[in-house]
Structure 1
Amino acid sequence: MSSEQKTTDRSVLYVSAGIALIFVAFSIILPSQMAKGANGVLSFLTTNFGWLYLMSAFIFTIVLFVIALSRFGNIKLGLDDEKPEFTNFQWFTMLFGGGMGIGMVFWAIAEPITHYMSPPVGQPGTPQAMHDAMRIVFNDFGIHVWVIYAICGLALAYFQYRKGLPCLISSAFYPILGERIHGPIGKAIDIIAVFATMFGVATSLGLGADQIATGVEYIWGIKATPGMTAVVIAIMTVIFTAATVSGLHKAMQAVANVKVWLSIGFMVFIFLFGGMVFILNIFTQTMGDYIQNFVGQSLWMGNIEWTKAWPVFYRAWYIAWAAFVGQFIARVSKGRTIREFILASVFLPSGFCFIWLAIYGGAAFNLDALSHGAIQLAVKSNISTALFATLQHMPLYFITAPLAIILIIASFAGAANSATYVLSMLTSGGDLNPSKKLCGFWGIAQGAVTIMLVLVGGTAAIKTLQTASIAAAFPFMLIMLVMCYSIYKALRQEKV
C-alpha cells in the first residue's frame, strides 16, 4: 500500500473552512430560517432513518465482537514484533479518562430525572419509572457509545500502524478504493469527517458554556445572558487552544490529571453523601436490567417521538464524535492486538460510565425523595442546573459548586484539545504533527463559530448547532457502515 500523500494539498482544509463560514454566515444573516431549515433536515432524517441510526450501532456491535472473537483478534495494531507504547496501567487510565466527557457531567443527573418525570411508557414518578430511567441512561451512555468510537479507532489504528497509510478516515477505504483514497472521493470522506467533528465539538462547547453560565447564576446570582455565555465560551476556547498550540502531550496530560482527580473526588464524595446503600441497590438492579434487555432496548422503537428525541439523537451524536474520539483511542493503542483493543476500548470506558451514572443518578433520586421533589423542580426550571441542585443538598456546597464548574471546564477542554489536534491532522493530509498555526486556527474557529451564533441567536442557537451536527452525522454513519466491510476485507488478506 502506498503511503504517499500530498501534505501541501489544502483542499480538505479550504472546503471544510468554507462550509463552516457559509453555515455561520447564513446563521447570522437568517437565524430563524437557518434554524427552521436545520430542524426540517433533522426531522426528515430522524423520522425516515431513525431505525437506521439504531440498526447501525447494533451492526457495529456485532462486527466488532465477531472480529474480536475470531482469528483476526490476534493481529497486532502495528508490526508483528511491535510492543505497546504504554504499560497496561497507563493504557487503562487513558481509556478510563476517555470515558469522561462533558456529556457525562451535563446529563448524568438531568437525563434520569427527565425520564423519571416523562417516561416513554408507564406512569411518571413511580419506582418503576425510576428504574426504567436509569436503564435508559445506561443504554444511552453504555456499550453502544464505545462501539461506535471503537469502529473508527480500529480502522485508524490498523491502517495507520499496520499498513503505513496516512492517519485519515479515507485511509480505511484503501481495500475498496485503492490509490483513489488520495483523490476526490477520499477527500470528500475526510471533509465529511471534519464537518461532523467540527459541529459536534462546537455544540458541546455551547452546552458546556451554558451549564457553566447557568451554574454561575445558580451559585452567585450573576445572570446567564447570551453575552455571559459567549464570555465563557471565549475563556474556554483560549484554554484549550493555548493547550493544543503550546504542546499536545504536556497540555493533554495536565488537563487529564485535573479531570481524572476531580472526577474521582466527585464520585467518592457523592457516593458517600448521596446515599451509599440506595446507590448500590439501584446500580445492581439497573445493571441487571441493562444486560437482560440489551438487544431489545438497542432496537426499541415503541414510542417513535421519544426514540427520535433520545436514543436516535445519542447514536447520531456519538457518530459525529467518532472520528476524533476514535483517533484518541487509536493513538494510545499502538502495539496492542485487535482483541485487546476492542475489549478494552469498549468495556473499560463503559464500565466507568455505568459507575458514574449510577452514583450521580442514584444520589439525585435519593436526595430528590428526601427533599420532596426539589431536584425535579430544578430540572423543570432549567435542565442545566441539575448537578448544582443535587450538590446543594449535600455538605460543603460552597466548595463543591465551584469545583463542579472547574470539572466541566476540564472535561470539555480535554475533548476540545484532542478534537483541535484531530481537525488539524485531518486537514493537513494526516500529518501527525500539524503546524501550531493550523491548530490555532481550528481552536479559534470552533470557539468563534459558537460565540457568533450564541450572540445572534441566544442559547437557542446552540440547538441549531446541535441539529447541524446530527445532520452531518448521517453521511458519516453511511461511511462507517462501508468502513466495516473495508476493515473485514483487509483482515481477510492477513495471514493468521
Structure 2
Amino acid sequence: MQEKKAKDRTVLYVSIVIAALFVLVSMFFTEATNAVFNQLFALITTNFGWLYLLAVGLFIVFAIGLVISPYGKIKLGKDDDKPEFTNFQWFSMLFGGGMGIGLVFWSVSEPIMHFLSPPMGEGGTQSAMELAMRVSFFHWGLHPWVIFAIGGLGLAYFQFRKDLPFLISSAFYPLIGERIHGPIGKTIDIIAVFATIFGVATSLGLGSTQIATGLEYIWGIESTPITVSIIIAIITVIFTLATVSGLHKAMQAAANLKIWLSIAFMVFIFVFGGSVFILNNFTNTLGSYIQNLVGQTFWMGNVEWLNGWTIFYWAWWIAWAPFVGQFVARVSKGRSIREFILAVSLLPAGFSLIWIAIYGGAAFNLNTISNGFIEAAVGADYTTALFALLQQLPLYGITSILAIVLIVVCFVGAANSATYVLAMLTSGGDMDPDKKLRGGWGIAQGLITIMLILVGGTSALKALQTASIVAAFPYMLIMIVMCFSILKALKADYSESQLLKKSNEFKDVGSAQKAID
C-alpha cells in the first residue's frame, strides 16, 4: 500500500507541475506558445500524418482479429463472473456514451463544409453532397469506436481478469512486468493524463464556442474569446461543485436530460426536415460508406485536407481513448471480449451514423429549399450551423433555447466524467477517487481550456485542434504497443485455459475408467 501511495503521489505531482507550467507559459508568452503549437502541428502532420492512418487501420484489423479468433471467448473478468448490467442497461449506456459535444457541434457544419470544399472534385454539386455525407460517416462511424474499444479492452481485461490497477500502464504488464509500478509505468499514465486533458479541452472549447455563437445568433450577444472563457468558467464551477458535493442525482438527471433531449431533436428534425430525403440520403450514404471503407481508411490523396480533418479526428479520438475507454470498460465487466468489441464498436457507431444522417440530410434538404441559406450561414461562421438549421424549422424560438440546453448538458456531462477519469489516473487507479482531487482536476480543465482559447484568439479552435494532435501523438504510439501487449496476454491466457480444459478431460476419463473397473 505504501508503494501504491508513493506511485499515486508521483503521477499526481508531476502532472500538476506540468499542467501548471503550461498554463503559466500560455498566460505570459501567448504569441510564443501559439507559434510553438503551430510548429509542432506542422511537424507532426507533415511527417507523421500517414502514421495516424496506419495506426487506426491497425486497430481495426486487431479488433476484427480478436472477434473472429478463439480469444474472443475470454471474459473481461473471472470465468464465473456474470455481467454487472443487463443487455438493455448495457446497450443504453453505450448509446449514451456515443453522444457528446462534438457530435452536436459537427453534425450540420461538417457535411456542409465538405460540400463547399470537398477533398476531391468540384464543390456545390450532387456528387460533392454525396461525398460530404460519406466522409462525415467515415469520421464519426466505426473508426473512433474501435479506438475506444481497444483503449477500454486494455483497462477492462487487466483490471477485471488480472486484478491489476485500473490504469493504462497495467495493460503493459505482459511486456514490462512489475516495472509498470516504476518510471516507465508512471510515464505512460502521465501521457494518458495529458492526452485526456487536451482531448477534453478540444471538446469543451468546441462546446463553449458553439454556446457563445448561439447566443450571438439568437440574441445578438457578441461572441468573443472573453465571452467563451466566461462560459467555460461558469460551467466549470457547475460541474466542479457537482463533483465535490456528490450531487449524483443531479448529474444523473443531466445525463437523462441529454439522452431524451437528443432523441427528441432527432425525431423533430427527421419529421420536419424532410424524412423521405433523409432516408434516401442515408441509404445511399451507408452503401457508399461500407463500399469505400478500406480505401478511405488509407487514402492520402489530399494531405492538406487530411491534416485539417481526418488526422485531427483520429488524434482527437486517440486523446479521448483513456477517457471513453475507462467508461466502456467500467460497464462491461463479465462480458466476453467478442461481445465487448462488437457492442462498443458497432452500437454507438450506428447511433452516430443515424444522427449524422438526420442532421446532415436535413441540412442539405433545407439548404436547397431555402436557396442556400444554410451554406451561407456555415460559410460565414460554421459554429452557428445548428442554429441556422433550426431556424428553417418550426418552433425556432423554443428549439434554439433547447439546443443551447443540450450543448450545456453535454458539456457538463463530459467535463464531470473527465474529472473522474483524471482523478483516477492520478490516484493509482482508485475507482472511487477523492472528491478534492476530482474538484482540483475540474478547475484545472477549465483553466487549461480557457488558456487555449485566449492563446488562440480568433483562431481558438485551431489552437485546440493543434494541442489535441500534439498531445495525442505519444499516446498513439502507446496504443500501438498496447495491442501487442494485449495479444501476448491473451495468448498466454488461452493456452492456460486449454491446458486446464485438457487436464479436466483427463480427470473425467480417469474417473469414468475407475467407475468401469
TM over 0.5: yes
Q: Which residue of 2 aligns with 1:372?
A: 371
Q: Encode CA deviations 1:413-465: one digit per residue, 9 max, x unaligned.
A: 22211111000000011111111100000001111222244346535344323
Moved more, 267-276 or 309-318: 309-318
Which one-letter code corresponds to 1:325 in the other structure? V
Q: Which residue of 1 aligns with 2:408?
A: 409
Shift of the alpha carbon at 1:3?
A: 12
Structure 2: segments with no counterpart, 5+ residues: 499-517
Q: Where does residue 153 of structure 2 map in the other structure? A: 154
Matched, 1:268 2:267: yes
Amino acid corresponding to residue 45 of structure 1 in structure 2: I
Partner of residue 316, structure 2: 317
**1:236 is matched with which residue?**
235
- Percent identical among aligned pairs is 66
Cα separation, 2, equivalents of 1:434 and 1:334: 19
Q: How does 1:223-372 map to 2 (within 5 A)?
A: 223-247=222-246, 250-372=249-371
Tell me, yes or no, if structure 1 residue 390 matches structure 2 residue 399.
no
Matched AA of 2:353: F
User: Aligned partner of 1:394: which letter?
Assistant: L
Q: Which amino acid aligns with 2:280?
A: N
Q: Which moved more, 1:202-211 or 1:153-162?
A: 202-211
| Correspondences of 1:176-215 after superposition (within 5 Å) | 176-215=175-214
Within-5 A mapping of 1:107-186: 107-186=106-185
The one-letter amino acid of 2:394's match is P
Which structure would you say has the larger Rg?
Answer: 2
Contact 1:214 1:384 (C-alpha < 8 Å) held by counterparts:
yes
CA contact under 8 A between 2:9 and 2:427: conserved in structure 1?
yes
Q: 1:87 to 1:3 in 2, by over 3 A?
A: farther
Is 2:428 the partner of 1:429?
yes
Deviates more, 1:380-389 or 1:459-468: 459-468
Deviates further, 228-237 or 124-133: 228-237
Distance change (3 Å), C-alpha of 1:9 and 1:153: closer
Distance 2:244 2:469 in 1: 28
Where 1:224 maps in the other structure, the secondary structure is: coil
**1:28–1:453 contact (8 Å) kept in structure 2:** no
Per-residue deviation at 1:240?
2.0
Instruction: Give the 3-state SS of the residue equivalent to 2:299 in structure 1.
Output: coil
Q: Which moved more, 1:68-77 or 1:149-158?
A: 68-77
SS in 1 for 2:4: coil
C-alpha distance in 2, partners of 1:43/1:406?
36
- Contact 1:172–1:486, Cα closer than 8 Å, also in 2: yes
Change (3 A) 1:469 1:457: closer
457-466 or 121-130, which deviates more: 457-466
Cα 1:456–1:470, aligned 2, differ >3 Å: closer, same or farther? Answer: closer
Moved more, 15-24 or 416-425: 15-24
Contact 1:112 1:361 in 2 (8 A): yes
Deviation at 1:411, TM superposition (A): 1.3
Mean CA deviation greater in 278-287 or 60-69: 60-69
| Cα 1:109–1:225 shift into 2, 3 Å | same
Contact 1:53 1:316 in 2 (8 A): yes
Once the two structures are superposed, what CA deviation does each residue of 1:211-254 show, in whole Å capped at 9, x if it has no partner?
00100110011111222212211121122222322337545422
- Look up the equivalent residue of 2:166 and give its one-letter code: C
Q: Residue 6 of structure 1: SS of its match in structure 2?
A: helix
Partners of 1:126 and 1:321 lie apart in 2 by 35
Separation in structure 1 between the aligned mates of residue 6 and residue 263 of structure 2, nearest angstrom: 41
Aligned mates of 2:454, 2:482 — CA distance in 1: 39
Q: Distance in 1 between matches of 2:36 and 2:454?
A: 20
Q: Distance in 2 between matches of 1:3 and 1:302?
A: 54
Match of 1:476 in 2: 475
Report the AA paired with residue 176 of structure 2.
L
Deviations 1:5-42 (A, max 9, x none): 33663111111111112222221112112111111111
**Would the alpha carbon gap of residues 338 and 135 (structure 1) be closer, same or farther in structure 2, given more than 3 Å must change?**
same
Residues 455, 303 of structure 1: alpha-carbon distance in 2 compared, 3 angstrom cutoff: closer
Contact 1:3 1:166 in 2 (8 A): no
Indicate if the aligned counterparts of 2:7 and 2:186 stay in contact, CA closer than 8 A: no
Which residue identity is paired with 1:109? V
Q: TM-score, normalised by structure 2?
A: 0.93
Cα distance change on mapping 1:344 and 1:457 into 2, 3 Å: closer
1:203 Cα offset (Å): 2.1
- Work out the CA distance in 2 between the residues paired with 1:110 and 1:422: 30
CA contact under 8 A between 1:7 and 1:428: conserved in structure 2?
no
| AA at the equivalent of 1:26 | V
SS of 1:493 mapped into structure 2: helix
1:279-327 CA deviation, whole Å, 9 max, x = no partner? 0000000000000111000111111111111111110110011001000
Amino acid at match of 2:17: G
The residue number in structure 2 matching 1:446 is 445
Task: Report what 1:21 is aligned to.
Answer: 20
Question: Partners of 1:22 and 1:156 in 2: how far apart?
Answer: 29
- Displacement after TM superposition at 1:255 (Å): 2.2
Q: 1:453 to 1:305 in 2, by over 3 A?
A: closer
- SS of the equivalent of 1:10 reads helix
Matched, 1:218 2:214: no
Mapped contact 1:210–1:459 kept (Cα < 8 A): no
Select between 253-262 and 170-179 the one with higher mean Cα deviation: 253-262
Q: CA RMSD in A?
A: 1.5
Contact kept in structure 2, 1:7 and 1:431, CA below 8 Å: no
The residue matched to 1:13 in structure 2 has which SS? helix
Match of 1:91 in 2: 90
Deviating more after overlay: 198-207 vs 374-383? 198-207
Q: CA 1:327–1:7 in 2, change beyond 3 Å: closer, same or farther? A: farther
- 8 A contact 1:230–1:451 mirrored in 2: yes
SS of the residue corresponding to residue 8 of structure 2 reads coil
Structure 1 letter corresponding to 2:291: Q
Distance 1:57 1:448 in 2: 31
Distance 1:449 1:131 in 2: 38
State how many pairs are aligned: 495
Post-superposition CA distance 1:195-220 (Å, at most 9, x none): 11012112221111110010011001
Higher mean alpha-carbon deviation, 76-85 vs 281-290, is at 76-85
Task: State how far apart, in whole Å, the 2-side matches of 1:9 and 1:229 are.
Answer: 34
Sort the Cα spacing of 1:10 and 1:418 in 2 relative to 1 into closer, same or farther, 3 A. same
Structure 1 residues 367-416: Cα deviation after superposition (integer angstroms, max 9, x where no partner): 00001111111111111000000000000000000000011111122221
Gaps of 5+ in 1: none
Contact 1:3 1:165 in 2 (8 A): no
